[in-house]
Amino acid sequence: MIELKGNNIKLCLLDTNVLSELLKNRKPYFKILYELYPLSNYMFCYSVISIIEIKKIKPLFERYIEVFSHIPSFIMNGHGEIFNEELRHYENSDHHIKAWAIYPANIKSKSSMSNEDKLRYVLTTKYITSKEKEWVNSREEIINGIISLKKNYPPKKDKYSEKEIINFAEIVTAQQIIYEARDFVEQEKKAGRTINISLFPSVKTISYVVFYNFYVDERKPKISDAFDIIISSLLPYVDVFITESHQNEVINKIKKVDSVLDHLENRSLKSIL
């Protein structure tokens, strides 16, 4: 939830597949969503990762520009930016974590620019294009990391116990914090303080998503899975998540073992239509 012009607005995150389907079937799908999540109380948001995917299909990207240059929405940050926000909050509890990167309705430009041109322009800035390259290049590293970890954590019996699942998430979260912020970890260690991993919910959520996608279901990771994993880092910072059926089930499984996503209303697009 965010405060916008004095009003509390809930954030409704659309994953890449849902955003794509909305753009392809614009009128009926948007009508249903507006009835469930009226703009008076909710605002749609989507990851900048989703825009990278949509840009691959030019007609779909043009439709996105046409639609979302006039609909209030938020373009959300990537996982690295979210982690840095959590780190700042950890070190200074007064720091408010900002999960969104761009609010298209607030883009400043020359008065002669149309809404469509403004949105197209901001998505081609050096910051966005450099981040796009960074995220695309990191996909293989993410997938290779999943594959390399899998053989190191087999279940003690036929299937993983709840304790083993929670333990996995805690281990992976701690390892990722060390990897991303070694200086911070060393500083806390020298001060004799134990790091509270619950204050890094984006990393914890990713750890669970990886587990339920590739440890329980025995799925072989694909390069395209990397973006779904990155998008899951946003779930602690939105109120509603609409996704495809498999990912929706993964979230339901996470809720059974951990409270990190208890606040989240999650549902599949199929259940809405």
* Residue 191: Cβ-neighbour burial (10 angstroms; 0-12, 13-18, 19+): exposed
Model pTM?
Answer: 0.90
Which residue's entry shows tokens 């840009």? 55
Point out the least confidently predicted range of 14-23, 59-68, 123-132, 159-168: 123-132
Average pLDDT value for residue range 24-42: 87
Q: What is the mean pLDDT of the chain?
A: 87
Average pLDDT value for residue range 79-86: 92
Residue 137 or 158, more confident: 158
50 Cβ contact partners less than 8 Å away, ≥ 6 residues apart:
14, 15, 16, 19, 227, 231
Give the C-alpha separation, 192 to 29, whole Å: 53
Q: What is the pLDDT of residue 146?
A: 67
Going by pLDDT thresholds of 50, 70 and 90, the confidence category of residue 147 is low
Going by pLDDT thresholds of 50, 70 and 90, the confidence category of residue 245 is very high
Q: What is the pLDDT of residues 85-130, one digit of tens each?
A: 999 999 999 999 988 888 776 666 666 778 888 888 888 776 677 7
CA distance readout (Å), 204 to 43, 132, 230, 262 = 25, 24, 12, 13
Average pLDDT value for residue range 8-35: 89
**Residue 53 pLDDT greater than 80, yes or no:** yes
Going by pLDDT thresholds of 50, 70 and 90, the confidence category of residue 148 is low
Judge whether 89 and 79 are in contact, CB under 8 Å: no
- Least Cα distance to 55 among 159, 143, 136 occurs for 136
